[in-house]
Amino acid sequence: MEFSPSDSEQDPLISNLRAKGGYRTLPFIVGVDTFEKMASIGLMPNMILYLKSEYGMQNARAVNILFLWSSATNFMPIIGAFLCDSFVGRFRMVSYGSMTSLLGMILLWLTTIQPRAPCHQVSESCRSPTTFELLVLYTSFALMSFGSGGVRSSSVALAVDQLSKREKEQGILERFFNWYCLLSAGTTLLAMTFMVYIQDKLGWTVGFGVPVALMFISVALFFLASPFYIKLKPKTNLFGGFAQVLVAAYKNRHLQLPSVVNYELYHNEKEHMFQIPSEKLRFLNKACFIRNPMHDLTPDGRASDPWSLCTVDQVEELKTLVRIIPIWTTGIMLSVNMSQSSFLVLEASSMDRHVTPNFQIPAGSFGSLMMVSLLFWIVLYDRIAIPLASKIMGKPARLGVKQKMGIGLLSSCIAIGSLAVVESFRRAMAIKEGFSDDPQAVVSMSALWLLPRQIFDGLAEASNIIGQSEFYLSELPQSMSSLGAVLFGVGSSAANLISSLILNIMNNVTERGGEESWLANNINKGHYDYYYWLICGLSFLNFLYYLYVSKAYGPCKGEEKKSLDGGDD
């Protein structure tokens, strides 16, 4: 049984009378989210090797599939958020998502049970997978993406529901989010090291079986704690409200708005009786303009037809979303850069990965170095740079959210540029050492030359992605916080589609006339460095675009124009 929002808003903890919610429920809820991420992230780094060795896929096709899978995984949370807020509720959405994700992991694990003849890239001899085998593989990817949409869209919100209003006011909520972010980073790091190591050393069956076991345990514990959860019913559909504003504005498009501002001319809810719409995107104000109070309003002050008259709050919510879209689009290119990690695995595989004579870093674990870099930059900024700057200035100092995003975009551009330089040297060395026809050969060049890319990517994530989260949460109204939580994921989804498009275009254009494709299956014959330089150029243009839209947006809420000041940016 789910409680209504009105009941819970008085005391979301439901006090001791019902013994619902509280800190004791958080590990079970966050645990499902954690193990779902650990499984999906831990499967991704080596997946290109699995598709090549077990399914005989070419590099471009395998990376395309991973782009689409990642895109679906990042996009599904926004659908999950819509279904959660409108129909299902958070508890049920996490329940459905976790079960679906577990089913997808089991299906993927089953693909490793049937032995397959290994593919040999040098001779290019490989048994083609059957249609049924591909169907099972793609279905497992789809189920895990659907499951991720359910878990990631609602797990954090469900956890927050367990805290009382008093606890939120005491700063517990802020500490919870800090703890959650650190846990997510730690989970990613563990997935890209421990999980990848198991796959490399114990094989695909054990490597894919461990996530299944972990997810099964977390799902079982999640349902065992179900009687103690606060389960709120779904609230008003936010996207439906946006549609109402657009329809009402179109219906009233011929209206002439008065030059004199008067709050009585605009429709407000009773608790916000004195609001007037802003002058930005003024044509949308027609959606909340009262033409005839006797006809447009009911006796209790509500709109007679919500599709002809909306509230000022609804109009301002849509305006806020429209205004942040240009800045949101700049983060897509950063995600395009981040999505090149599959190629990074191929490069690392062809380089000397030994740290000591007896230990070498698994190729799939090189992505974990970026997470180490991310944690380093976060700690450096929060614990060293900001306290030191505040001490020197004699007042609180911090970077504005837009400055953080700009630093992240520029760092990402430098990261992909460094990768292009390293790949150029690696390819030249492979040719010099006579490995042109052997893509599996290891050149005498240390894979640690890939570290600059990971260092700058860590700075990019620490600056831009955290900056994006702060920007959405500070600029969007509280009623849209759930939407703000999934905006970055939507951008990542779009980035994977764009990456796939760029990859296909480059692959088709560069192999014309019988030429070797830049993205050839033999990494030593291709020109991956040219591909990286193309991405680097697009990233720099995106950075210039960001400077323009950032200036056009103006200062954020509570932000001064200077980058560092006495606590108010």
pLDDT at residue 76 is higher than 70:
yes
pLDDT digits (tens, 9 = 90+) for 258-270: 887 787 889 988 7
pLDDT bucket at 566, cuts 50 / 70 / 90: very low
Under DSSP, is residue 229 helix (H, G, I), strand (E, B) or coil?
coil
Report the range of poorest mean pLDDT among 115-119, 249-253, 450-454, 543-547.
Answer: 115-119
Topology of domain 1-235, CATH: Growth Hormone; Chain: A; (1.20.1250)
pLDDT bucket at 387, cuts 50 / 70 / 90: confident
Percentage of the chain beyond pLDDT 90 is 33
pLDDT at residue 370 is higher than 50:
yes
pLDDT at residue 271 is higher than 80:
no
User: What pLDDT, on the 0 to 100 scale, is given for residue 117?
Assistant: 58
User: What pLDDT, on the 0 to 100 scale, is given for residue 10?
Assistant: 41
Q: For 289, list phi and psi in degrees, rounded to 5.
A: -80, 130
User: What pLDDT, on the 0 to 100 scale, is given for residue 52?
Assistant: 86
Render the burial of 537-561: b for 16+ CB within 10 Å, e for the rest: ebbbebbeebeebbeeeeebeebee
Q: Please write down the long-range contacts of 122-125, taking CB distance under 8 Å and 24 or more positions apart.
A: 122/437, 122/438, 122/439, 122/440
The runs of H, that is alpha helices, within 162-279 are 165-169, 172-190, 196-224, 238-251
pLDDT bucket at 16, cuts 50 / 70 / 90: very low
Contact, 31 vs 224, CB < 8 A? no
pLDDT bucket at 75, cuts 50 / 70 / 90: confident
Mean pLDDT for 321-348 is: 89
Residue that has been written with the tokens 């395998």 in this structure: 62
Tell me, what DSSP letter sits at residue 228? G
pLDDT at residue 458 is higher than 70:
yes
Cα separations in angstroms, 200 against 270, 363, 364, 365: 62, 9, 9, 10
| Interhelix angle 528-553/481-510, nearest 10 degrees | 140
pLDDT at residue 486 is higher than 90:
no
pLDDT at residue 273 is higher than 80:
no
What's the 3-state SS for 458-472?
HHHHHHHHHHHHHHH
Q: What angle do CA 48, 53, 57 make, to 5 degrees?
A: 65
pLDDT digits (tens, 9 = 90+) for 212-244: 998 999 999 999 999 999 888 776 677 788 899
pLDDT digits (tens, 9 = 90+) for 120-153: 554 455 677 889 999 999 999 999 999 998 998 8
